[in-house]
Each structure stands twice: as C-alpha cells, then as structure tokens.
C-alpha cells in the first residue's frame, strides 16, 4: 500500500459543533479523494494499483468474500450488489467476527477482502489472519494509514478520507462504497462490462461530489423533520436491493447516537413479521428512489399507512410527486444510477440521525458504551 499523510486541518472542528457533522460535510471532498487518479476514461475502467495482483490473477477470481464489522459490513453489503451486478462475480458478505471462527469452504480463486476504517478492529484483523493462515491472499480497504490491517494485508487501497473522529462512521461508509464501486468496475471491465457501461459508472462516480453538495443544502429541512420524530418510541428503516444496506446502515446510525431502537430491513420483509411493530409512535423511513423497485416500495409504504404508521421517504425527483401524496415527509436527493444510490441516500439519513440525537441532547461524537475502534474481542 502507498502511504498518504493526513493533513492536520482534516482533524480540526472549525465552525462545526460536532465532528460527526463536520465529517458528514466532508463527503464531497472525501469521495473526490477516493476516486482521484483511479479512473481511466480511455479504458473505461478503474485503476487500483495497491492490490498487488496481476490482471491475470484478478481475472481468475471466481468468488469474493467481503468481511468487516458494523458500518464496514454494511458497505460490504453494498459491495455484494455492486460486484454481482457490474462484475458478475459471486460475492458474499461475512461479519468478520463470525468469519474468523467459521470453517468456510473456499477455493484457490476465492478472493478475501476485509474492510475497516480504522484498520485496527480486532475481529476484522482476526478474519484477515485466519484467511492468510489458510493460504489466501487477503486484500484490504482501510482508511487508517499505517494501521495493522494495512500493514499485514497482502495488498489493498486506502480510502483517503482523512481522520474520522466521531464514533459514528459517516464519511468512511460512503468512501468504502466508492472504493467498492471502483473494484466492481475494474473486475467488471475484465469480464463482460462493455465500454459504454464502464463510462456510465465513471460518470456516475464523478458526478457524486456535486450531488452530495446539493444534498447538504437540505440540512435545515432535515433538521425540522428530525425534530418532529425525535421522541419516537422506535424507528424502522426499509430499502430494497442496493438500498437495503442503506436501511441497515441508517438504523445503526440512529440507534448508536440517539439510543432510539431502530432496525433496517429489506422493504418486502415488512409483511413477514415487522408489520406487527407498526403504529402511530413508530415512524418508518423508506429509501425509495425512483428506480426499478420504486413501485414495490410504494405498495409497502401503503401497507404502513394503512396501519397508521408515520412514513418518511428518501426519494429522487421522479418519485417525489407520488410519495408526497402518501408520506408524511419526503426528502428528495438527486437522481443517480443505482450503483451509487446508497452513497447519496445514506447522507440525508446521517443528517437525520444526527439531528434526532442533538434534539435529544445526546453526546453525538462519543455515544455511551462505544469506542471508535474496537480492539478487544
């Protein structure tokens, strides 16, 4: 791996009241840093030099296992959708703490990838070492420069997101998603992703910083919505396909900093049990961009409405009109391709949980019982 020094300014709070808010606002730049120098228009692909693998070795990969903990495992879930749809490579997500004690059958062409912001999480480190003990090459996506995982891994890439001080992972999640998009693009172009699709992915990534800036302008509007729901007894988060991981991640953000019980689910799971929790005191947040599953999300929203559950939706302009007629509150983010949608849809929900926690007077940057980096088992 190539080391990159952090700029001391990156760790300064400036005018922000909390690191979490500053780090949410850092995201146009952190995404730019993640993709800078890693896109090739000429070849319609990505370049990830630190992987230490020849094109032949990369091409031979026929299965990928992504492992991480907490937010990193949610980015891995996004990666699963990305690698399967862009690269057509079977991909599984394993929670690192489970992977290290499982006897997972793997073959020579199985690639193990660990994801960790800090690069110090003991369970992720343990999963990496167990993979290496079995003779696998284990690659890593990390942010912590010179961290144990970055040093011991067999290759990988840094996110270049700068220090993340707030306990709640924000910019590291979106950077991990961006890195996994690069990986999926690289592997996709080695298999059957045509040039035209490769260019579409590149353009989608390059458009992100400006779209994130647009989303950050919604901060005041999101604060008003958050204050309205801050005293909820619990919250449910729903999404489908690429935005199922977004729902799980948004729920983790909510519970860790506001102490409101929250859970994230694939939307269609509502009717398999979760619907029993729906009532007027439990808002449901739907991540429902105007995509191929929009209509399905709308019918699930109707189910919640029919049981008096308040609904907040995150959507894109194409879905706004319809959702305004059936939801209590609607947050509109810019239209995007589905591969980058989790990056854009997670940001308003980071702001949502931040403002809920502030309204409740919680210690946003240092929530109770939590450490930034979990270095004990």
Residue 257 C-beta: closest distance to ligand M6R, Å: 8
> Tokens for 112?
């193990």
Which residues, numbered 234-293, are part of the site for ligand M6R (CB under 6 A)? 252, 256
Min dist. Cβ of residue 376 to ligand M6R (A): 12
Picking from 306, 54, 295, 304, the residue whose alpha carbon sits closest to that of residue 315 is: 295
Q: Looking at the DSSP assignment, which residues form a beta bridge with residue 45?
A: 40
Structure token pair of residue 77? 């879930």
Q: Which stretch binds ligand M6R (CB under 6 A): 3-11, 66-74, 271-279, 316-324?
A: 66-74
State the nearest-atom distance from the C-beta of 275 to ligand M6R, in Å: 27
Three-state DSSP at 142 gives strand
- The DSSP code for 10 is G
Closer CB to ligand M6R, residue 121 or residue 174?
Answer: 121
Shortest CB 93 distance to ligand M6R, Å: 14
DSSP-assigned letter for residue 217: T
* Candidate residues 93, 167, 323, 357; the one interacting with ligand M6R per rule CB under 6 A: 167
Dist. CA 354–CA 168, nearest whole Å:
9
Q: Token digits for 314?
A: 């995150």
Task: Please report how many Cα atoms fall inside a 13 Å half-sphere around the Cα of residue 222, on the Cβ side.
Answer: 26
Q: How far is the CB of 75 from ligand M6R (least distance, A)?
A: 9
Where is 39: in which H helix or E strand?
strand 39-40
A 10 A CB-CB count for 330 gives 21
Nearest position to ligand M6R, beta carbon? 70
CA neighbours closer than 13 Å in the CB half-sphere of residue 112? 30
Q: Which stretch binds ligand M6R (CB under 6 A): 12-20, 47-55, 101-109, 114-122?
A: 114-122
The verdict on 95 binding ligand M6R (CB under 6 A) reads: no
- If one asks whether residue 117 binds ligand M6R (CB under 6 A), the answer comes out as yes
**What would the two tokens of residue 28 be?**
């146009």
Using CB under 6 A, pick the residue from 69, 161, 180, 184 that binds ligand M6R. 69
* 153 touches ligand M6R (CB under 6 A): no
Exposure of 304 in the CB half-sphere (CA atoms within 13 A): 32
Pairing of strands 45-46, 284-287: unpaired
Under the binding rule (CB under 6 A), the answer on residue 329 touching ligand M6R is no
26 or 256: CB nearest ligand M6R: 256
Residue 365 binding ligand M6R, by CB under 6 A: no
75 scored as a contact of ligand M6R (CB under 6 A) = no
First to last CA, the chain: 27
Residues in the interface with ligand M6R (CB under 6 A) total 16
Q: Does 23 bind ligand M6R (CB under 6 A)?
A: no
Span near ligand M6R by CB under 6 A; candidates 52-60, 166-174, 208-216, 296-304: 166-174
**At closest approach, how far in Å is the CB of 116 from ligand M6R?**
3
Annotate 236-248 with DSSP letters as a single string: EEEE-GGGHHHHH
Positions that interact with ligand M6R (CB under 6 A): 69-72, 116-118, 121, 124, 167-169, 252, 256, 373-374
């Amino acid at each position: 791996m190539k080391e990159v020094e952090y700029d001391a300014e990156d760790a300064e709070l400036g005018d922000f009241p909390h690191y979490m808010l500053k780090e949410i606002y850092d995201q146009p730049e952190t995404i730019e840093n993640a993709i800078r120098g890693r896109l090739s228009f000429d070849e319609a692909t990505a370049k990830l030099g630190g992987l230490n693998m020849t094109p032949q070795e990369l091409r031979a990969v026929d299965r990928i296992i992504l492992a991480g903990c907490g937010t990193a495992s949610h980015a891995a879930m996004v990666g699963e959708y990305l690698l399967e749809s862009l690269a057509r490579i079977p991909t599984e997500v394993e929670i690192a703490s489970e992977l290290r004690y499982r006897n997972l059958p793997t073959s020579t062409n199985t690639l193990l990838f660990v994801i960790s912001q800090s690069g110090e999480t003991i369970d992720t480190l343990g999963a990496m070492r167990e993979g290496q003990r079995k003779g696998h090459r284990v690659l890593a996506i990390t942010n912590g420069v010179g961290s144990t995982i970055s040093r011991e891994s067999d290759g990988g890439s840094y996110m270049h997101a700068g220090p993340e001080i707030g306990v709640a992972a924000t910019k590291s999640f979106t950077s991990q998603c961006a890195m996994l998009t690069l990986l999926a693009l690289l592997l996709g172009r080695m298999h059957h992703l045509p040039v035209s699709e490769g260019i579409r992915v590149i353009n989608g990534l390059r458009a992100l910083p400006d779209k994130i800036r647009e989303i950050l302008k919604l901060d005041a509007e999101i604060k008003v919505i958050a204050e309205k729901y801050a005293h909820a007894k619990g919250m449910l988060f729903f999404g489908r396909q690429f935005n199922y991981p977004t729902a799980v991640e948004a729920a983790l953000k909510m519970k860790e900093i506001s102490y409101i019980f929250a859970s994230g689910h694939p939307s269609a799971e509502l009717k398999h049990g979760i619907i029993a929790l729906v009532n007027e005191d439990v808002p449901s947040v739907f991540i429902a961009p105007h995509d191929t599953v929009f209509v399905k999300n709308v019918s699930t929203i109707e189910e919640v409405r029919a049981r008096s559950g308040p609904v907040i939706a995150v959507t894109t302009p194409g879905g706004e009109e319809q959702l305004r007629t059936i939801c209590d509150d609607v947050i509109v983010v810019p239209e995007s391709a589905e591969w980058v949608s989790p990056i854009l849809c997670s940001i308003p929900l980071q702001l949502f949980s931040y403002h809920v926690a502030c309204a409740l007077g919680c210690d946003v940057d240092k929530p109770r019982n939590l450490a930034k980096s979990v270095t004990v088992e």
